[in-house]
Amino acid sequence: MKTVTVVGASLAGLYAARELRAQGYDGRLVIIGAEPHFPYDRPPLSKDFLANKDFLANKDFLANTDLAADSDFSANKDLAANADEAAAAPLGGAAPGGANAGGAAPGGATRGGAIPGGPTPGGVTRGRPLPGQAPLDETTPDEAPLALTDPDEIAELAADWLLGVHATALDPRGRAVHLDDGRTVVTDGVVVATGASARRLPGPRLAGVHTLRTLDDARALRAELTRGPRGVVVIGGGFIGAETASTCAALGHDVTVVEAAPLPLIPQLGPEMAAFCADLHRHGGVRLLTGTGVAGLRHAAVGGTTGPERVTAVELTDGRLLPADVVVVGIGATPNSGWLTDGALADRDGVRCDGGCVTSLPQVVAVGDVARVGGVRAEHWTSATEQPRVAVRNLLAAHTVETFSALPYFWSDQYGSRIQFAGHRPADATVRIAEGSPDSGSFLALYEQAGQVRAALAVNRPRPFMKVRRRLRAQRSAEPDGTRSARAAP
């Protein structure tokens, strides 16, 4: 292949680009990003970045990347390794594919060819900023720690970065990616890494109503929260909603969380542990309203009848009305697969892939939040960082030679507590507290089925959790179905 195009310039896209170079691809590499920013770290957006803290100096930020310090996981060279193991392991670590991941390929920084109307090889071109966005190169000092890459690595990747433009179509016959600025990138291989977008409530766009998924989302919400005490209503008690509520409460705002389910996080944690998370809200001074949905948003014109419409209250399905200066909608995300018009390739639940991230189109693979790998779409950091190695290997081999199946893992920081979960929670699993106690705010819970541990949840118990997580991964590798993090095909 002479040209490979990575569509998506976030975490999964960056890891795919690193893997291409690490696995020996020395051809032209094009990276297309809908946002005008180079790849950045999203987990801090709902926490220390939103709180406007100097999170680079905050140990809690070092945990936000939450990359495992064991040899099977890796971190960007400028980010901290998992703070769970920070006392036992140095910062940083090898990039995927070995210590030379992201290193210069043969030919150095001059490889590749120019895109007509685009940058010179290894250069950067950006589209026009969207309304309300900061200038494309304008970042504040507190945003610098969010960067997932640096100028040295960007030079080593020797890619053509097309930032601030959206892919609008993939032409399988012409082997081309069409962009919304009218350009076309002709390519031999494609890595789809377009991620997902925050779901929004139906109805008109209103001032004061926010989602929180991108840097520009976080900038806008943070600006609102610095205008003095606000009445904040968070719609959705999932991880983003809970983290945002926690941050807003810590800033002194009056916060209410609305969750349609009987308890937040029941699907992920089960009722017993979900009840613990519900108590975190209450102990943190946040009102939690469960078992009710949102009927609509009340709004009024700002500055008279001709001003912009701004949210004033949230109307619930049970008839209650919650006054609100700021509303944060945290009701999940939808995969960015609409630009792929081929119904056999993608639908509303992402890009269909086999177990090796390979799609039905030749030389097209998908990774990260947009990819439905083996029928499962997982919006986790570990999927975005682990899938690219397998996907790139299969892309370069031109068929599936390796499959992917990682142990589910996620973490969250809420109200001063670090919550970690790993494994598959069977519906009939029983929960056993192996260490500590929920009343103390620090414990390790094991989900057991037929005498075997299937999943683990820890609150402020990082080291015991990491040990159990490693055991779960080893157990998964030894299962008779052969599923493991990376399996070579016969």
Share of the chain above pLDDT 70, in %: 79
* Same domain (yes/no): 41, 186: yes
Boundary residue ending a domain (299, 329, 359)? 329
Per-residue pLDDT tens digits for 351-378: 999 999 999 999 999 999 999 999 999 9
* Same domain (yes/no): 434, 455: yes
Res 485 pLDDT > 60: no
* Same domain (yes/no): 261, 128: no
Residue-number span of the structural domain to which 442 is assigned: 409-488
Boundary residue ending a domain (401, 423, 438)? 401
- 3-7 and 28-33 as β-strands: parallel, antiparallel, unpaired? parallel
* Same domain (yes/no): 212, 351: no
Q: How many degrees, rounded to 5, is the angle at CA 219 between CA 217 and CA 225?
A: 105
Per-residue pLDDT, averaged over 228-242, amounts to 96
* Same domain (yes/no): 320, 220: yes
* Choice among 413-427, 455-469, 475-489 with the minimum mean pLDDT: 475-489
Per-residue pLDDT, averaged over 294-319, amounts to 90
- The confidence band for 79, taking pLDDT boundaries of 50, 70 and 90, is very low
pLDDT, residue 320, reads: 97
What is the count of structural domains for the chain? 3
- Residue 423 maps to which CATH number? 3.30.390.30
Per-residue pLDDT tens digits for 402-436: 999 888 899 999 999 999 999 999 999 999 999 99
Boundary residue ending a domain (367, 401, 435)? 401
pLDDT, residue 407, reads: 87
Res 454 pLDDT > 50: yes
* Same domain (yes/no): 397, 429: no
* Same domain (yes/no): 42, 129: yes
Per the CB < 8 A criterion, the answer to whether 425 and 270 are in contact is: yes
* Same domain (yes/no): 258, 341: no
* Choice among 78-92, 173-187, 321-335 with the minimum mean pLDDT: 78-92
pLDDT, residue 16, reads: 98
Per-residue pLDDT, averaged over 308-322, amounts to 96
- Residue 389 maps to which CATH number? 3.50.50.60
pLDDT, residue 125, reads: 64
Average pLDDT along the chain: 83
* Same domain (yes/no): 37, 185: yes
* Same domain (yes/no): 212, 83: no
Residue 233 contacts by C-beta under 8 Å, 6 or more apart in sequence?
Answer: 255, 256, 257, 258, 314, 322, 324, 326, 327, 328
- The confidence band for 124, taking pLDDT boundaries of 50, 70 and 90, is low
Q: How buried is 73 (Cβ within 10 angstroms: 0-12 exposed, 13-18 middle, 19+ buried)?
A: buried
Residue 96 contacts by C-beta under 8 Å, 6 or more apart in sequence?
Answer: 15, 18, 19, 22, 74, 385, 386, 388, 389
Res 258 pLDDT > 70: yes
* Same domain (yes/no): 323, 337: no
* Same domain (yes/no): 155, 144: yes
pLDDT, residue 306, reads: 67
Res 100 pLDDT > 60: no
- The confidence band for 349, taking pLDDT boundaries of 50, 70 and 90, is very high
Q: How many degrees, rounded to 5, is the angle at CA 145 between CA 142 and CA 147?
A: 120
Res 239 pLDDT > 90: yes
